[in-house]
Structure 1
Amino acid sequence: MNEIEERGTPRRYYFVQLVKYLNQLIFYFKAFNFSQLQYNKNEEIRFRSTTFLAIYLSVIEKQSIHWVIINVLQRVGSNRNQEFVKKLQQVKVSTLSTLLEPYSSIEQLSLRYAHPQFMVEKLCSILPAAEVEKLLQSHNAQKYLYARISGFEADPIQIRKSFRQIGVPLKRPTEIPFAFQIWRRYIKKIVKSPPYLRGDIVLQDLASMHTCISMDPQPGDRILDACAAPLMKTSLLQFLSRGQSKTLSVELSPTRLQNSLKSPTLRATSSFLIADSTTLPFRDSPPKEIFDKVLLDAPCTSSGAIYYTPEMKWFQSAEYLRSHAILQQKLLQECLNYLKQGGILVYAVCSYYREEGEEIIASASNLIKIINTRRFYPHVDKCQGFFIAKLQKI
C-alpha cells in the first residue's frame, strides 16, 4: 500500500476498510475464483490482502482499473497480471444484487452491508427489515463524533470560537447543552486544537453521556462506577455534580486504569480501585461501603460500537453473546449488593441484543424497580447503539 499512502491516504485507513467489508470481499474473491491465480503458496496472505484491496478500490471506492493497476497490481506478479485484470474487470461490471439473487434475505443483507449473518439475524428479530437495512448502512458511513465540556471554568462560547478559527464547525445537540456534535472528518484538527490539549473538552459519545445524565448525580452522593476505564463516565459524573459527589471507580485492568488516570479532567473527589466488580472487596467492610448510586457500564459484545469500531462486527457470535450475558448478570447482582435500599443503579451496554439489555435487568426483577429504559440506534440518534436502564433497588 506504499504507493497509495504516498497519494495522501494513510495505510491504516485501508486496513480498516478491508476489515469493515471483509465478508463482502471474500464473497467476490470466491465468486470470481481469484484463488486460481495464486502462484506462490508461501505468499497466500499477501496475495489475498492485495486482491481484497484491488477489489475494494474497484468496487467500493469505484477507482478505475487503470488506477488500480498502477497502484496495486504490480504486487500480484507480472506473469499473472493480465488474467488478474480480466477477473477484476468482471467484478467491476458485475451487479451485487444479481450475484446475491440465489441467497436468502438474511444472507443478502449480510453480504450487501458486510455484517456477520448472526448479527443480521439478531437485528431482524428486534427491528423491521427496513430499519435493519438503515442501521447496517449507518455502520458503514459513520459521520459524527461528539465532544463535551470537561471543566467547570471552560467557556462554551470561547470553545466554539476557537474551533471556528481552525475551520471546525460545532453543533449543539438539543438534549445536552454542554456537548458538541462534530463531523468525523475533522478529527485530526480536533485532537490538535488548544481546547482539546488543555483538557477543556473531551471526546465522548452522545449515548455514553446520557448514561451519566440519567443517573442525575447530586452533591454528597456516594457513587460506585463499576468497570470504570477509561474513566470518561467518572469524569462526567464529577462534572454533573460540580465536583461534590464522591466517586469510587473500580477497574479490573491495572493497565487500563493507569492509562486512564492521565486524564486532566478527573477530580480530587474521585478514588480508584483495581478489583473485579463481580466480587467486590467490601464484604467485611462497615456500612459506609453502601453506595447511594451505582453506574454499571458493563463489558458487552460491543455490537452497538461497530459505528466506531467496525472490527467488532466479526466477533459477533452466539457464544460471544452468551459469555457476556453470564458476566453481566454476575456484575448486576454484585453491584446491587452494595447499593442502598431505594438507591439508583444505571445499567448500560453498547449492544443491540435483548440478551444483554432487557433480559439482564429482568434477571434481577425481584430486587429492582425499573424507572425507565432507553435504546439508541445510529441511524436514528446519530450515535452508537446503546441500551440504558435506570433502576431503583427495592
Structure 2
Amino acid sequence: MSSKNPRRAAFEILLRIEKEKSFADILIDHELSKDMIKGADRGLLTELVYGVLRRQGTLDHIIGQFSTQRTDKLELYVLLLLRLGLYQCFFLDRVPVSAAVNETVKLAKELAPRASGFINAILRNADRNRDNISYPDRAENPVGYLAVRYSHPAWLTKQWCDQLGVDGAEELAAAMSEPPPFTIRVNTLRTSREALMARLTEEGINCSATRWSPDGVRLNQSGLISRLPSFRDGLFTVQDESSQLAPLFLSPEKGDRVLDACAAPGGKTTQIAQLMGDTGEIYACDVNHKKLRLIKETCDRLGITTVRTFTMDANAPSPAIKDVTFQRILVDAPCSGLGVIRRNPEGKWSKSPDDLLPQARTQVSILENLCKYLDKQGTLVYATCSTSVQENEYVVDTFLREHPEFVAEDLRTLFPEFAPLFTERGFFRSWPHRDGMDGFFAARLNKIK
C-alpha cells in the first residue's frame, strides 16, 4: 500500500474542520485508520493538526505582519498552507526551517500553484525577521497580548483576566496552548492502581499516579492505547483526572438507583458503577442514541452489568423513567467546553461569548426537568467542563432561586482532602495551570424537602 504525505493529510483535515466544523480527533483517527501514514509520520500528522489549531491566533498574527493582504481576505487554501508552514518554522523544533519552507512550498505548488511564490516569500521573510515581530503591549493591552501570544480569542482572555487577574490569566492561557496530559482510570472491579501501573510498565508504558484522583494514572503517551493487552483486558478506561472527581462528589452507595444524564461516552457512568461495586441500578441516558453504543461497549469491556442505557432529552420528561426516582443524579451538562479547549482546540475558534447565555438557559432547563426525579434527601451533582461563571455559578444560583427545596452543600466540609480544589462557596473548580487537569466545575445539591 502506498504511503501518504502527512503534511498533505494535515492540510486536508484542517480544510474539513474549516468547512464542515468537524472534530479534529475524529478526522485524525479516521485518517490514521487507513494505515497509509507510517511510523513517525503518524505523530507528525497529529502534531501538525493540533498544533496549528492551538496556535492559530498567533500564526494569523504573524501572517498579518508580513502579508500585504489582510489575513481574513486570504484564500482559505493559502491561509491554511501558511499556517502549516509557519507552525513548523516557529513551534516545531525537530523540523529544520528549510525543510518546513520547502515542503510547504512543494505542497502549495500542488494545491495553490498561483500562490506558491507568495507563500514562499511570506515564510522566508517571517523566518528572517522573527525577532522583529511586534505584539500587543502587555501592560497597556493585556487582553490583546494574551490573545495573540498564547493564541486564544480575545473575548476568552478577557474572561480569564476578569476571573484570575492578568498574571493568573497568563498562566492559564499558556497552559491552554499546550498538549493536555493523558490520563486513565483504573477499573477497580478488576485490579488496583498499583497493579495496573506495574502491568503498564511491563507493557513499556511510563506512568505515574495522579495527585487527586485515587484511581487515576497519568501516561507519558497517548498513541495506540487501545492496542495494549491491559486495555483489551478491561483494566482501565481513558478519563481526565478532573472528570474522575465528579462521581466521587456524588458519593453513590451500594444498592443505589442512580441517573447519569448526558452520559456518553460513559466514563463517569462506569466510574459510578465501580464506586457501587457494580450493584444497584444505573440509568445512563443521552440525547444521541448512537452514542449509547459507546457506553455499552465500555461497560462490556470493563465487565460492568448494572448499567441500562436509553435515549433521553434531558430537557424534557421521558416515558422511560416516568415512574422512577433516584437517590443520586449526575448532570454532566452540555456546555461550551471552554475548560477542555487544549483537547479540542478547534472549538475555541467557533465559539463566541453570545453562545454562553443560551447554553446557560439550556443547563437550567435540564436541572428543572431532572430535579423532580430525585428522592427526598437525594443528591444531585451538577457538572460542566467549562471555565465560564455564566455556565456554572450563574446556573446553580438561578436554579436554587426557583427551588427552595434544594440547598448547595459545601464540598469543603464533605471532602476536606480536596480542599485546595474548592472555591470560597464550596464548589469544585479545577484550573489546568494550577491543578494539572482540565478546567472543570461541580456543585453538589441536596433535596431537603
TM-score (structure 1 length as normaliser): 0.90
1:225 aligns with 2:263: no
Report the AA paired with residue 390 of structure 1: R
Greater mean alpha carbon deviation, residues 61-70 or residues 3-12: 3-12
Deviations along 1:94-114, one digit per CA (max 9) or x if unpaired, are 347734349822111111111
Residue aligning to 2:134: 98
Report the AA paired with residue 172 of structure 2: L
Greater mean alpha carbon deviation, residues 264-273 or residues 214-223: 264-273
**Cα RMSD over matched residues?**
2.7
Measure the CA separation in 2 of the matches of 1:83 and 1:285.
64
Residue aligning to 1:171: 208
Measure the CA separation in 2 of the matches of 1:120 and 1:175.
27
Residue aligning to 1:238: 273
Greater mean alpha carbon deviation, residues 57-66 or residues 365-374: 57-66
* 1:73 counterpart (105, 109, 112): 105
* 2:167 counterpart (130, 139, 142): 130
Q: In the alignment, is the contact (CA less than 8 A) between 1:253 and 1:274 conserved in 2?
A: yes
1:28 aligns with 2:28: no
Which secondary structure state, in structure 2, belongs to the residue aligned with residue 363 of structure 1? helix
1:132-147 paired onto structure 2 within 5 Å: 132-147=169-184
CA positional deviation for 1:230: 0.8
Measure the CA separation in 1 of the matches of 2:46 and 2:244.
29
Measure the CA separation in 1 of the matches of 2:68 and 2:96.
19
1:1-394 paired onto structure 2 within 5 Å: 2=5, 8=41, 9-33=43-67, 35=69, 44-61=75-92, 63-77=95-109, 84-92=119-127, 93-95=129-131, 98-101=134-137, 104-183=141-220, 186-263=221-298, 264-265=301-302, 267-281=304-318, 285-286=322-323, 289-365=324-400, 366-372=404-410, 373-394=427-448
CA positional deviation for 1:90: 3.1
CA positional deviation for 1:319: 2.1
Q: In the alignment, is the contact (CA less than 8 A) between 1:151 and 1:199 conserved in 2?
A: no
Instruction: Tell me the number of residue pairs that the alignment of Structure 1 and Structure 2 aligns.
Output: 386
CA positional deviation for 1:44: 3.2
Measure the CA separation in 1 of the matches of 2:321 and 2:201.
55
Greater mean alpha carbon deviation, residues 72-81 or residues 275-284: 72-81
Q: In the alignment, is the contact (CA less than 8 A) between 2:210 and 2:217 conserved in 1?
A: yes
Q: In the alignment, is the contact (CA less than 8 A) between 1:226 and 1:297 conserved in 2?
A: yes
> Structure 2: where are the runs of 5+ without partners?
8-36, 411-426
Report the AA paired with residue 70 of structure 1: N
TM-score (structure 2 length as normaliser): 0.79
Greater mean alpha carbon deviation, residues 344-353 or residues 91-100: 91-100
Change (3 A) 1:347 1:284: closer
CA positional deviation for 1:86: 4.3
Deviations along 1:77-130, one digit per CA (max 9) or x if unpaired, are 488766644433332223477343498221111111110111111111111111
> Structure 1: where are the runs of 5+ without partners?
none
Change (3 A) 1:362 1:35: same
Which secondary structure state, in structure 2, belongs to the residue aligned with residue 74 of structure 1? helix
Measure the CA separation in 2 of the matches of 1:36 and 1:356.
35
Measure the CA separation in 2 of the matches of 1:107 and 1:70.
32
Q: In the alignment, is the contact (CA less than 8 A) between 2:339 and 2:386 conserved in 1?
A: yes
Report the AA paired with residue 104 of structure 1: N
Deviations along 1:7-50, one digit per CA (max 9) or x if unpaired, are 6344343122222222222222222116499xxx9x93322221
Which secondary structure state, in structure 1, belongs to the residue aligned with residue 258 of structure 2? strand
Measure the CA separation in 1 of the matches of 2:277 and 2:223.
30
The percentage of counterpart residues that share the same residue type is: 21
Which secondary structure state, in structure 2, belongs to the residue aligned with residue 207 of structure 1? helix
Change (3 A) 1:301 1:285: closer
Change (3 A) 1:60 1:157: closer
